[in-house]
Amino acid sequence: MTVKSNHVTIKGIKDGLVFLLDDRCEFTSLLDDLRYKLEYSHQNILTGPIIHIDVKLGTRMVTEEQKEMILDILKQRGNLLVRSVESPVLEEEKDVEGALMTMSGIVRSGQVLHHKGNLLFLGDVNPGGTITCTGDILILGSLRGMAHAGVEGNVDAIIAASYLSPTQLRIAETISRPPDEWENRETSMEFASLRDGKMQIDKITNITRVRPDLNVFKGV
């Protein structure tokens, strides 16, 4: 029998169980280990009467679909009743038009963070990770993955990051793949915007020339 990695830790508490899920491993590996724990290694505590469980995802950012995949596995054990799921991601945000939602964490490879509105993200987007927004994307951290702003056709949307080294940028329907010299440029804060239908990259100090309404990075 294949021995699974220890990506899932199950701890007993006074009124149930806590499932601590590794927030650094690949999501598919996490699901595999969760299935293994439920089917083989913890049968003695996962049988019998109803048990309330709390699921803790650490700093892992999950989509609603990924959350449901975790819950579907847990529901296969008829005596497990999920009481709570702790995650740093707010999947269903209600955003006032023009407001700036703030989220924090790390978008890891294979993860997609989508937000309806404008987003200020405090953290890094790793290679293979993706952020999509209907409005602006402002990242106080490194953007090494893919970012798509203005997904519903907003050509005035911008993408800004403390360190801009993406695999791909997209604003509305315009796609720009990064040049080979990304890694050789100065590590200054930059932003991308559309000018005359073409993607342009500029230093963050010039952002108010393109978008006078944006002053998040002013003075940084």
- pLDDT tens string, the chain, 220 residues long: the values are 344 468 999 888 888 889 999 988 888 999 999 998 888 776 666 666 778 888 998 888 787 788 889 988 888 876 788 888 887 644 444 444 556 788 878 888 888 888 888 988 888 999 999 999 999 999 999 999 999 999 999 999 999 999 988 999 999 999 986 655 455 555 568 889 998 888 888 888 888 888 877 655 444 4
Q: Tell me if domain 8-86 and domain 100-210 are identical in fold.
A: no
**What CATH number has the domain spanning 8-86?**
3.30.160
CATH fold, domain 100-210, is Pectate Lyase C-like (2.160.20)
DSSP-assigned letters across all residues of the chain: -PPPP--EEEEEETTEEEEEE-SSS-HHHHHHHHHHIIIIITTTTSSSS-EEEEEE-TTB---HHHHHHHHHHHHTSTTEEEEEEE-S--SS----TT-EEEEEEEE-TT-EEEESSEEEEEEEE-TT-EEEESS-EEEEEEE-SEEEE-TTS-TT--EEEEEE--SEEEETTEEEPPPGGGGGS----EEEEEETTEEEEEEGGGHHHH-TT--TTTT-
Domain regions of the chain by residue span? 8-86, 100-210
